[in-house]
Amino acid sequence: MPSNRSVSDAPITQFVNCRILRDHKLQREDLWVREGRILDPEKLFFDEQGYADNRVDCEGNIISPGFIDVQINGGHGVDFSQASEDVGRGVSIVAKKILEDGVTSFCPTLVTSPYAVYHKVLPQVKVHNGGHHGAGVLGFHVEGPFISVEKRGAHPEQYLRSFQSGGFEDLMEAYGSLDNVAMVTLAPELAGSQSVVRELCRRGITVSLGHSVANLSQAEDAVKHGASFITHLFNAMLPFHHRDPGIVGLLTSDQVPAGRRVFYGMIADGIHTNPAALRIAHRAHPSGLVLVTDAIAAMGLPPGRHTLGQQVIEIHGLHAHIAGTKTLSGSIATMDMCVRHFKQATGCSVEEALEAASLHPAQLLGISHRKGNLDYGSDADLTLCDDALNIKATYISGEEVWRKQP
């Protein structure tokens, strides 16, 4: 076929022999990519008489949008909340390793820390695209220090803070800057939190509710001011009670403003949340479920003692506890493990399991116009997996960045 490359001379890649996740269902069609974006093949054929320069045989596997992890504290021996001289190097190590899990972009997460840690760590890692060097960084998720003492979980009490008269000024004093921050987790019952939620949302930063003893009306109030996420649902919040369901009640609240959706994170590692609780949440509000790993430095490491921020963590099997206690402290599950467990525990479709790790986090962060889907014009960040949701290969901007060795 003659070529008329009037639009672009960049090479075109055609993924063949695959099922692609588009419009919430697996469709048997090819996927076309040029200059890191997904192409509309009709326009390619009719407007340009274009053709593929490269063909990738997917051997009947599924192409999903790349996974997005909005809560990951570290992994493979790296703890993002440790203020080393080269935080960027640690983030890069994790970014490279999580390509194996199908993750193409993520939010490095900082747990409650001394102010000096935020001031040192936050400026060191800029938002950047992924590639052969590793998954892209979408901005930090800062979890704390403005959280509840009672529901602090693994967050050290001596570094927790409340909003004083300044509110937002207190937050800026803690973090130093919001330049590289994508999300903040706070407890909405803290006095002065409403103005902080409003200002963060005005700046385009996602506000999440977590580590909190808030009742439902306090949580609804925060959502009305712009909060849109719940940090690891069920964990580090008041348990569901029929007279006041607390933050959990947001899943079926009639006070969420029209046109808005509340998303919620779930650590589907089989440990943090009983499968029945996972099923209840999914059936109550399936379109808001976002899979997160909440992974700590010990992910990918053998059992033993490791760190999470200022705490020492003990690993036994898949359990991570603060040393000498029964307090859970993050997970050592990978994102692909969470996707598989979520599907198995809830009986949801393959499509739903994959969208909980891709489309929903992109919608939460307001980036679904370019990530989290396989629509024409979106970034060609792709995860290739088999029917059992085992990762076979990972692509960023249409380039293979990892492949499982046979």
Catalytic amino acids? Answer: 294
Residues 187 and 347: their CA atoms lie apart, in Å, by: 32
Whether residue 83 contacts residue 300, with contact meaning beta carbons closer than 8 Å, is answered with no
Q: What Å distances lie between residue 56 and 3, 25, 404, CA to CA?
A: 20, 21, 15
The two three-digit tokens of residue 229, written as one number = 């996420």
Q: Read off φ and ψ for residue 91, nearest 5 degrees.
A: -60, -40
- Yes or no: say if 180 and 140 are a contact pair by the CB < 8 Å rule: yes
What's the DSSP call for residue 397?
T
305: tokens are: 């003692």
Q: DSSP string covering 34-102, please?
A: ETTEE--HHHHHHHH----SEEEE-TT-EEEEPEEEEEE-EETTEETTS--TTHHHHHHHHHHHGGGGT
**Going by C-beta distance under 8 Å and a sequence separation of 6 or more, which residues neighbour residue 8?**
34, 35
* Residue 316 parent element (H or E): strand 311-316
CA dihedral 330, 332, 336, 341 (to 10 degrees): -70
Widest distance between CA atoms in the chain: 70
DSSP-based three-state secondary structure for 13: strand
Q: Are strands 399-403 and 391-396 parallel, antiparallel or unpaired?
A: antiparallel
Burial of 190 from C-beta contacts in 10 A (0-12 / 13-18 / 19+): buried
Residue entry with tokens 């977590």 = 210
Cα 270 to Cα 342: distance, rounded to the nearest angstrom: 9
- AA letter at 154: A
